[in-house]
Every structure is written in structure tokens, then in C-alpha cells.
Structure 1
Amino acid sequence: MANQFVLVWSLLLTALTVCCLTSASDPSPLQDFCVADSNSQGFLAVKMNGFACKNPTTVRANDFSFSGLHIPGNTANAVGSAVTSATVTQIPGLNTLGISMVRVDYAPWGINPPHTHPRGTEILTVIKGTLEVGFVTSNPDNRLISKILRKGDVFVFPIGLIHFQRNVGHGNAVAIAALSSQNPGVITVANSVFGSKPDISADILAKAFQLDESIVRKLQWTF
């Protein structure tokens, strides 16, 4: 009797574990595709977790394609880089498929500043030039893991971790990155901290970054 009780209890725990693991992962699509309907109320202003599906009988090849990643981005800006996205916003057919990609252009010594993708892991391939790349592990270690990449090299940035790229070559650089989300999002650290609307109180940031409040206010004005 005791052995039967242990067996039943073990099976129950196993079932609960499987249920928990299943509910913690993204569900598989229940149909071939769910092209985002640009005429639906929530499109481009995410009011639900994903977008409503377009009538499959009206779906066309253009819903699954995008032209533009061959065009260099304009790097004439403060950071010297430009990102051209191919997410669900540009390709409605990506809806529910959990993948997207970007092209990143870098001027000489341009950077893609420290940022995170809250909903996607990134895998980056250098197409042209030489990049210094890296990410920082979470607290309490905050360990920097970085590497110099050249044409054809690949690097992975785990989901949610702060990461960056810098062009350390003599000419322009180009990278293509894929992300494990149709809409991975991006949080640029400096913009978010010093450019929030409304501003985070200067005394909070001064204490957090161990800076004088006048410097914080100058940074807030800049961003």
C-alpha cells in the first residue's frame, strides 16, 4: 500500500511538472500561418499579445516578404550606426512565428550602444568589417563577455542581457542579426535612463550612478 501511494504521488508530481513546463513555453501555431491584419484595431499599437489574423483567403506573397536589407542605413548620427528592421511590423506574415531579423550598419568607430531585447535572443553575423561585440551577465557578477568578430563570424546575445557592438575596423561595417521573436523590442540603456518621459528624478539617478546632479541634468537634456 505504501509503495502504491509513493507511485501515485510520483506520477502526480511528474504530471504537475510537465504541465508547468508546458505552460511556461510559447504555444505552437494552430494553423499554417496567421498574417497580421493591418486593418485590425490593434495593429502597430500592440493591445494584445500578437495581432489578429488576416483572412487566409486574402493572403498574398507580399505578406511574407520585405525588400530593403540590401540598402545601407544612414549612419550620420551621434552613435554612428543604423538599424534596418524586418520584424512583424514590416513582414505581417511573421505574426506568431517567433522570428525576425535586422541589418545593422556601422560607420568607422560607430557603435550600436548598450541595449537589450526584452523578448528575444539575438544571433549576429558579420557581413563586412570588424566588430567588437559583448554582453554583460546579470547581477551580482556583471561579467563582460566580449570578442572581436570578422567577416563570417557569429555571436549570440542571450535574451534580456545588455549588449553592444562597435566597429573597430578602418571602413564601414555591416552585420545581419536574427532574433527569436516576431517583435523582440529594444531598450537602449542611455535613452531609457536619461531620456524617459517624464524624467526620472535627478537625485535618484545621481545616487544610482554616483554622479553630481548637474551632470545628470545635462545628460537628461542631451537625451
Structure 2
Amino acid sequence: MALARLLLLFAVAAIHQLPRSARAGDPDILTDFLAPLGAEPDQLNGSFFTYARLVSGLAGDPGKFTVSKATGAEFPALLGQSVSYAALIFGPGTVNPPHIHPRASELLVVVQGPLVVGLVDAARNGTVHTAALETGDMFVFPKGMVHYQLNNGTGVARAFSAFGGATPGTISLPTALFETDIDDAALEKSFRTDEATVEELKHDLREAPGPAPSPSPSPSSAAVALVGGSALAASLVCAAAAFSFVL
């Protein structure tokens, strides 16, 4: 009995030393796929498993950064399948600002380069891993880690991203920090700056142009547009500084 208790204590101690981490992702489903409410699986046809707007849903202005998503929200057949997709177009000098996907990793492949990417490594005190990708290159962004993509060239860059979840989620750091109701005093202290700088960043982000027009708008379209500029660059510097403080 004493030996059994001793072994149990060792087991508990070993488990206690295992790395702790939060886990998020698509739950396993009990059927092959999730049918819409009220529909029988045998009543579905090929159109349910087809999505035709990944590329056609992209905005037409190649001077901006645009992204079209095929997640569970736009393509319900993906729900429960632990996979989704996105098509990205980067105009010259545009950026997909630092952001995270809390529920999925991302595998990006460049189909028209070059494209610079970066990943913040929280396990190594905020070290930023960057790469200059050319056409055909791939880069993986682990789930929940801060990353970005930048086209610092003179031509258009294009890429596709596959996600390990039907609802990966996207949290943009500039938006989350400067377009929400976070108290100005908290932002000032966090970024070690003054009220005027915080207000300027908020104003410039609010004044940024809205989504570029889509050639065939529909309620399911997820195309959005962002424009790089001095204000956005300043917000990225602030975001990078903040993460250097907390990582």
C-alpha cells in the first residue's frame, strides 16, 4: 500500500510538471459532415460542398491589401472539418498588420512574390522570425502567435492561406488596441507615450478608407481592404513595442 501511494505521488508530481497551455480549435464531430438545420444528408447535392467566391469575391483594386475568406461563416460545409482557406492580394507597399488567429495555425503559400513575412516567438522573449518569400515558398504561422505579411516591392504579390480550423478567428492588433474602448490612460502607460499620440493613432485608423468595392457583392462575402500609410506604420511600431514589454 505504501509503495502504491508513493507511485501515485510520483505520477501526480510528473503530471504537475507538464507544460501548461490553453487549447482551442474545432471540436470533433460525430458525423461525416454537418448538414444545415432541417436538411437531411441524403438531400444535399454537390453545390453544398462547393464554394465559388474565394477568388471572385476579392476586391478589384490591386493597390490595396485585400483578403477573401472561405471559413465556416462563408462556406458552411467547412463547419466541423478543421480546415478553411483565404486568398490574399498585396498591392505595392501594403501590409497585413500584426494579428493572431486564436483557433488555428496558418500555412501560407506565395503564388506571386516576393512577400516578406514575420512571426513573433513568445517562447524566445519576443524574437521576430522573418523571411523574404518568393513565388512557390511556404511559411507556417503557429496557432495564436502574432504575425504579419508585408509587400515591400513595386509589384502586386498574391498568396493563399490554409487554416487548421473552420473558424480560425482573426484579432488585428492595431484594431484591437486603437479602435476599441480601451482606456486612453492604459494605452499611454502601456506604450510609454502621451495622450496626443494615442488620439492621433485612433483618429488616423478611424479615417482609413473602408472596404474596396467587390465585383459581385453578397452577404457572404468576406473581402476587406486596408491601406498602408504613416499612421498604420506608427501603430505597428506601437504594437511591436507593447509586445516587447510583455513577452
Q: TM-score, normalised by structure 2?
A: 0.70
Q: After superposition, what is the alpha-carbon deviation per residue over 1:104-130, rounded to whole angstroms, capped at 9, x for unaligned? A: 000012111111111110000001121
Question: For the Cα contact (< 8 Å) 1:75–1:81, is it kept in 2?
Answer: no
Amino acid of the structure 1 residue aligned with 2:85: M
The residue number in structure 1 matching 2:58 is 73
Deviation at 1:33, TM superposition (A): 0.9
Deviation at 1:203, TM superposition (A): 1.2
Corresponding position: 1:127 with 2:111: yes
The residue number in structure 2 matching 1:220 is 202
The residue number in structure 1 matching 2:236 is none
Amino acid of the structure 2 residue aligned with 1:210: R
Q: Give the alignment of 1:160-179 within 5 angstroms.
A: 160-179=144-163
Structure 1, 172-181 or 162-171: larger mean CA deviation? 162-171
Question: For the Cα contact (< 8 Å) 1:84–1:104, is it kept in 2?
Answer: yes
Question: For the Cα contact (< 8 Å) 1:35–1:95, is it kept in 2?
Answer: no
Distance 1:110 1:4, change over 3 A: closer
Amino acid of the structure 2 residue aligned with 1:174: R
- Match of 1:123, SS state, is strand
The residue number in structure 2 matching 1:99 is 83
The residue number in structure 1 matching 2:34 is 34
Distance 2:134 2:65 in 1: 17
Identity of matched residues, %: 32
**CA RMSD between the two structures:** 3.3
Distance 2:142 2:189 in 1: 29
Distance 1:221 1:11, change over 3 A: closer
In structure 2, stretches of 5+ residues that fail to align are 15-22, 206-247
The residue number in structure 1 matching 2:44 is 59
Structure 1, 68-77 or 152-161: larger mean CA deviation? 68-77
Distance 1:101 1:209, change over 3 A: same
Deviation at 1:65, TM superposition (A): 1.2
Distance 1:118 1:25, change over 3 A: closer
Deviation at 1:169, TM superposition (A): 2.9
Distance 1:27 1:190, change over 3 A: closer
Q: After superposition, what is the alpha-carbon deviation per residue over 1:37-84, rounded to whole angstroms, capped at 9, x for unaligned? A: 4xxxxxxxxxxxxxxx8432332212211112333833759x931110
Distance 1:29 1:156 in 2: 26
Q: TM-score, normalised by structure 1?
A: 0.77
The residue number in structure 1 matching 2:233 is none
Question: For the Cα contact (< 8 Å) 1:72–1:105, is it kept in 2?
Answer: no
Distance 2:36 2:185 in 1: 44
Q: How many positions carry a matched residue from both structures?
A: 202
Corresponding position: 1:82 with 2:66: yes
Distance 1:88 1:218, change over 3 A: same
Distance 1:140 1:201 in 2: 30
Deviation at 1:222, TM superposition (A): 2.5
Question: For the Cα contact (< 8 Å) 2:71–2:166, is it kept in 1?
Answer: yes
Q: After superposition, what is the alpha-carbon deviation per residue over 1:154-180, rounded to whole angstroms, capped at 9, x for unaligned? A: 000011111100113331111000001
Distance 1:36 1:138, change over 3 A: farther
Question: For the Cα contact (< 8 Å) 1:195–1:220, is it kept in 2?
Answer: yes
Distance 1:54 1:181, change over 3 A: farther
Distance 1:8 1:210 in 2: 50
